Amino acid sequence: MTAATPAGPGPAPRRIGPFEVPAVGLGCMNLSHAYGVAPTPEAAERLLLTAVEEGVTHFDTAALYGFGANEELVGRVLAAHRDRIVLASKCGMTGVDGRRVIDGRPETIRRTADEALTRLRTDVIDLYYLHRLDRAVPVEESVGAMAELVTAGKVRAIGLSEVSAATLRRAHAVHPVAALQNEYSLWSRNPEEGTLAATRELGVALVAFSPLGRGFLTDAPPDPDTLPDSDIRRRMPRFDARHYPANLALRAELASLAEKAGVGLARLALAWVVSRGSHVVALPGTRSVDHLRENLSVLDLDLPDDVLEAAGRILDASTVHGPRYREESLTEIDTERCGRAG
């Protein structure tokens, strides 16, 4: 089967606050965090520098990732290219004494920002997110502290992550929110319960993390039985023995659709995400230079609407098996829920 020929120009650039970025950026988390054994520093550096060479301008990290190690990596490798990129990081969830802690208090946000500026080797962070809503702190207080960072010239624009439309509106009333970063993919459709429409209405970019379903929507889906114990997918219901076989059957349907369209499954999945609105930005992560280039090739792809619509019918909130997270993790997340509970 020959590769699909673009029907026209690919997705137009997207706005995130004052910045214009391609519709596909790069999430840097898995270079240091969460997905088993991290790559060598040399491999991670090669991936980041290749991304710059290939035209990526939107790089996303966080204080949590590797408990500061990812910010240090991104800062060290990309400092020489700082004027060419939009640099995003996050506060409000960090590592404390080896444990992940959600803390949205203003004093913590201010301290975390100063630490991030040092690790990132920059004087200003372009886009700074509240990584998680701290339910013990009103979002207005957390966002108020982030607004102070903008006034102080330490941050150019602010964002939120994993929050609902209602929380977004409360935050936006305190200070303009440039971006909302929520999980969004063919198998994680929570934004369609409110935040997809709210971000469009408010002029906020919806940055879709895990648009490839944590590797599930690729040509080489993970084998849960071989994942290291440290891999977060070990604790995600959609990858467990109760649900994964049924999800693999749905993936096979998607793969067949992608083959008929002349594209790989990852390209179909990313094209679907960026087709969801002119304000939607996909943020896949990868450790592979080849996969990086495959993801970026979506910028030159324009799949027919009927193919994208078919993909959205095969895998959606009503067909996917299992929730995004275990219940104890879902209690930490403010987003709207959707889909099957079990």
SS (HEC) of 80-109:
HHHHHCEEEEEECEEEECCEEEECCCHHHH
Question: How many domains does the structure of the chain reveal?
Answer: 1
Task: Evaluate whether residue 342 is within a structural domain.
Answer: no
If 0-12 CB within 10 Å is exposed, 13-18 middle and 19+ buried, where does residue 289 land?
A: middle
- Burial per residue of 195-228, b for 16 or more beta-carbon CB atoms within 10 angstroms, e otherwise: bbebbbeeebbbbbbbbbbbbbbbeebbeeeebe
Q: Is position 184 annotated as part of the catalytic site?
A: no
- The whole-number pLDDT of residue 77 equals 98
Looking up residue 247, the CATH number of its domain turns out to be: 3.20.20.100
In a domain, 339, yes or no: no
Q: Is residue 234 part of a domain?
A: yes
Whole-angstrom Cα distance, residue 322 to residue 341?
6
Residue type for 89, please?
S
What is the extent of the structural domain holding 28?
A: 14-330
In a domain, 29, yes or no: yes
Is residue 150 exposed (0-12), middle (13-18) or buried (19+ Cβ within 10 Å)?
A: middle
pLDDT score for 9: 67
Prediction pTM value: 0.95
pLDDT at residue 7, rounded to an integer? 44
Please name the residue that has the structure tokens 């280039």: 293
Helices then strands, counting H and E runs in the chain, come out as 11, 12
Q: What is the DSSP letter of 154?
A: S
Between CA 251 and CA 186 the distance in angstroms is 10
Does residue 3 fall inside a structural domain? no
Rounded-to-integer distance, Cα 324 and Cα 236, Å: 7
Predicted confidence pLDDT, tens digits, the chain (342 residues): 334 444 456 899 999 999 999 999 999 999 998 888 889 999 999 999 999 999 999 999 999 999 999 999 999 999 999 999 999 999 999 999 889 999 999 999 999 999 999 999 999 999 999 999 999 999 999 999 999 999 999 999 999 999 999 999 999 999 999 999 999 999 999 999 999 999 999 999 999 999 999 999 999 999 999 999 989 999 999 999 999 999 999 999 999 999 999 999 999 999 999 999 999 999 999 999 999 999 999 999 999 999 999 999 999 999 999 999 998 888 889 999 886 544
The answer to whether position 7 is within a domain reads no
- Are 149 and 155 a contacting pair, CB within 8 Å? yes
* Position 216 in a domain: yes
Instruction: State the catalytic residue, choosing from 35, 65, 184, 244.
Output: 65
Establish if 204 belongs to a structural domain.
yes
